[in-house]
């Protein structure tokens, strides 16, 4: 799979050409890097098992970690799932198109490679117009994990995808920045109460207000212990990790968090290890004289900038990233879920 020519299409100037070529590659069983509103995806025809297998190979992804299948209209849902509960349908209609992924019982026709051997399938209708048009033009449903090498931070720009897949896949569509910046919310909709398996662009509060109640799976913020069943297999793996070591600072209060970060920073600096602090814009002044990447004014903006910042830390040859914990409401839950994994659960 190495050393093939990768064609890059800038969708602002090469829309028709890029879309036609990418749709053709999908139909022929090839892989396409494409933008969505959450992160870039690495797509293939979901009903072509051989094509789906090549996604796992290209990413170096464990074969028991299932993929999300992307659709562009409700009629495509029937290809993938059977007997959709009424409550589930209401939530899909409420949050689609958008960063919401429904886990439902799969049809037997859906191959076990896409579902990682489970009898369920994860389905999402993206709102990004390029993603939607690629699905429509290819005439297929598209399986797509985030377009990063397994374990690395997810890509939010075409450049990130190039960094990981140049010379390894035939086409990358450049549609600008992925706005949400973290992946979709993966939600098991089979039972009475929706269960969030992975927090993301649609918040727990939004789901609760639409459904009346919501559960958050145990693996979202803590490490699953050995033998504990992972409802979402992706939760098992170290993830989103830059080369730099990442630590999450969670003090008893803000002053304590700041002290922990500053003490750790100064200690690493004395060892000659370059550090950077990831913080809210408004808090940068609390770390005066130290290297900071302010990630935004709230958790939503932090989500949008997080993966780019993790990749930038490596480009800037940082040895340590110190992350100021954010509160868990709204997009904070998704941000903390990602950073805790990037840190391999290490805290200070
Ligand atoms: O926003 C997104 O969801 C992006 C864009 C490209 O759409 N995709 C994405 O895919 O994040 P990926 O493969 O990086 O993450 C999919 C997550 C994994 O944690 C996986 O374990 C979980 O969804 N998942 C997929 N199918 C599942 C299933 N049948 N049951 C439970 N979890 C599932
Ligand atoms: Mg991923």
Last residue of a domain, one of 178, 210, 237: 178
Asked if residue 152 and residue 19 are part of one domain, the reply reads yes
Q: What is the pLDDT of residue 319?
A: 98
Residue 56 to residues 116, 147, 171, 341: CA-CA distances in angstroms? 10, 11, 17, 20
Distance 215 CA to ligand 1 centre (A): 18
- Map residue 9 onto helix, strand or coil: strand
- Residue 287 to residue 261: CA distance in whole angstroms: 8
* pLDDT confidence band for 241 (50 / 70 / 90): confident
The H or E element containing residue 49 is helix 49-59
Let me know if residue 153 belongs to a domain: yes
Let me know if residue 130 belongs to a domain: yes
Q: Determine which residue's CA is closest to atom 21 belonging to ligand 1.
A: 234
Distance 151 CA to ligand 2 centre (A): 8
Mutation pick for ligand 1 pocket among 69, 112, 186 (CB with most ligand atoms within 8 Å):
186
Asked if residue 171 and residue 42 are part of one domain, the reply reads yes
Asked if residue 149 and residue 272 are part of one domain, the reply reads no
* Mean pLDDT on 39-48: 98
Last residue of a domain, one of 178, 200, 221: 178
Find the CATH number of the domain harbouring 52: 3.90.870.10
Residues with CB under 6 A from ligand 1: 36, 38-39, 41, 65-68, 99, 101, 103, 115, 118, 120-122, 124, 126, 144-146, 183-184, 186, 197-198, 231-234
Q: Looking at the predicted structure, is the pLDDT value of residue 239 above 80?
A: no
Range of lowest pLDDT (87-101, 172-186, 219-233): 219-233
Domain count, the chain: 2
- Helices 129-138 + 15-27 axis angle, to 10: 50
Last residue of a domain, one of 130, 145, 178: 178
Q: Looking at the predicted structure, is the pLDDT value of residue 22 above 90?
A: yes
* Mean pLDDT on 209-214: 98
Asked if residue 142 and residue 13 are part of one domain, the reply reads yes
Q: What is the pLDDT of residue 3?
A: 82
- Which residue range forms the structural domain that includes residue 131? 7-178
Q: Which atom of ligand 1 is nearest to the CA of 146?
A: 14
Q: Determine which residue's CA is closest to atom 20 belonging to ligand 1.
A: 234
* Mean pLDDT on 196-214: 98
Q: Do residues 302 and 280 lie in contact, with contact meaning Cβ atoms separated by under 8 Å?
A: yes
The H or E element containing residue 323 is strand 320-324
| pTM for this model (two decimals) | 0.96
Q: Looking at the predicted structure, is the pLDDT value of residue 87 above 80?
A: yes
Q: Looking at the predicted structure, is the pLDDT value of residue 66 above 70?
A: yes
Asked if residue 260 and residue 140 are part of one domain, the reply reads no
Q: Looking at the predicted structure, is the pLDDT value of residue 236 above 60?
A: no
Which ligand has its closest atom nearest to the C-alpha of 66? 1
Mutation pick for ligand 1 pocket among 61, 146, 217, 230 (CB with most ligand atoms within 8 Å):
146
Asked if residue 260 and residue 132 are part of one domain, the reply reads no
* pLDDT confidence band for 2 (50 / 70 / 90): low
The pLDDT tens digits of the residues spanning 120-167 come to: 999 999 999 999 999 999 999 999 999 999 989 999 999 999 999 999
* pLDDT confidence band for 83 (50 / 70 / 90): confident
The pLDDT tens digits of the residues spanning 300-333 come to: 999 999 999 999 999 999 999 999 999 999 999 9
Let me know if residue 201 belongs to a domain: no
Q: Looking at the predicted structure, is the pLDDT value of residue 172 above 80?
A: yes
Supply 204's token pair.
Answer: 């727990």
Asked if residue 260 and residue 168 are part of one domain, the reply reads no
Q: Looking at the predicted structure, is the pLDDT value of residue 227 above 80?
A: no
Q: What is the pLDDT of residue 195?
A: 98
Mutation pick for ligand 1 pocket among 38, 59, 66 (CB with most ligand atoms within 8 Å):
66
Asked if residue 275 and residue 148 are part of one domain, the reply reads no
Strand-by-strand arrangement of the 275-279 sheet: 245-249, 320-324, 275-279, 292-294
- Residue 277 to residue 272: CA distance in whole angstroms: 16
* pLDDT confidence band for 233 (50 / 70 / 90): low
Q: Which atom of ligand 1 is nearest to the CA of 186?
A: 23
Let me know if residue 36 belongs to a domain: yes
- Helices 299-315 + 332-342 axis angle, to 10: 20
- Residue 130 to residue 254: CA distance in whole angstroms: 42
Let me know if residue 238 belongs to a domain: no
Distance 173 CA to ligand 2 centre (A): 18
Strand-by-strand arrangement of the 171-174 sheet: 7-10, 171-174, 32-34, 41-45, 142-143, 68-70, 120-124, 100-105, 185-188, 195-198, 215-216
Asked if residue 146 and residue 288 are part of one domain, the reply reads no
* Mean pLDDT on 22-44: 98
Find the CATH number of the domain harbouring 285: 3.40.50.11030
Q: Looking at the predicted structure, is the pLDDT value of residue 225 above 80?
A: no
| DSSP E strands, 32-98 | 32-34, 41-45, 68-70
- Residue 305 to residue 301: CA distance in whole angstroms: 6
Asked if residue 51 and residue 158 are part of one domain, the reply reads yes
Let me know if residue 97 belongs to a domain: yes
Let me know if residue 316 belongs to a domain: yes
Asked if residue 173 and residue 264 are part of one domain, the reply reads no
Let me know if residue 43 belongs to a domain: yes
Q: What is the pLDDT of residue 219?
A: 87
Counting residues of the chain whose pLDDT is more than 90, the rounded percentage is 92
Q: Do residues 268 and 262 lie in contact, with contact meaning Cβ atoms separated by under 8 Å?
A: no
Asked if residue 271 and residue 171 are part of one domain, the reply reads no
Mutation pick for ligand 1 pocket among 145, 237, 342 (CB with most ligand atoms within 8 Å):
145
Q: Tell me, what DSSP letter sits at residue 313?
A: H
């Amino acid at each position: 799979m190495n050393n093939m020519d990768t064609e890059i299409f800038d969708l602002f100037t090469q829309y028709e050409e890029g879309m036609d070529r990418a749709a053709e590659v999908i139909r022929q069983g090839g892989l396409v890097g494409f933008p969505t509103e959450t992160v870039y995806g690495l797509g293939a025809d979901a009903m072509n098992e051989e094509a789906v297998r090549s996604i796992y190979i290209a990413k170096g992804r464990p074969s028991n970690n299932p993929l999300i299948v992307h659709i562009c209209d409700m009629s495509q849902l029937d290809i993938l799932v059977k007997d959709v509960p009424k409550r589930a349908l209401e939530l899909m209609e409420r949050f689609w198109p958008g960063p919401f992924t429904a886990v439902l019982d799969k049809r037997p026709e859906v191959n076990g490679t896409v579902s990682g051997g489970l009898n369920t399938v994860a389905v999402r209708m993206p709102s990004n117009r390029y993603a939607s048009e690629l699905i429509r033009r290819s005439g297929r449903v598209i399986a797509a994990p985030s377009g990063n090498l397994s374990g690395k931070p997810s890509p939010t720009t075409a450049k990130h995808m190039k960094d990981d897949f140049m010379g390894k896949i035939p086409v990358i569509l450049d549609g600008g920045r992925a706005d949400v910046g973290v992946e979709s919310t993966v939600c098991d909709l089979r039972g009475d109460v929706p269960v969030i398996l992975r927090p993301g662009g649609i918040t727990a509060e939004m789901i609760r207000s639409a459904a009346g109640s919501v559960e958050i799976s145990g693996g979202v913020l803590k490490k699953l212990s050995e033998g504990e069943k992972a409802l979402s297999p992706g939760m098992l793996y170290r993830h989103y990790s830059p080369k730099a070591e990442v630590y999450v600072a969670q003090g008893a209060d803000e002053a304590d968090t700041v002290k922990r970060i500053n003490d750790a920073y100064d200690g690493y600096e004395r060892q000659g290890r370059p550090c950077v602090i990831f913080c809210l814009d408004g808090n940068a002044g609390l770390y005066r004289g130290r290297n900071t990447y302010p990630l935004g004014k709230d958790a939503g903006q932090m989500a949008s900038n997080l993966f780019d910042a993790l990749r930038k830390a490596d480009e800037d040859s940082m040895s340590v990233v110190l992350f100021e914990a954010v509160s868990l409401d709204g997009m904070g839950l998704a941000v903390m879920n990602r950073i805790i994994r990037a840190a391999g659960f290490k805290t200070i």
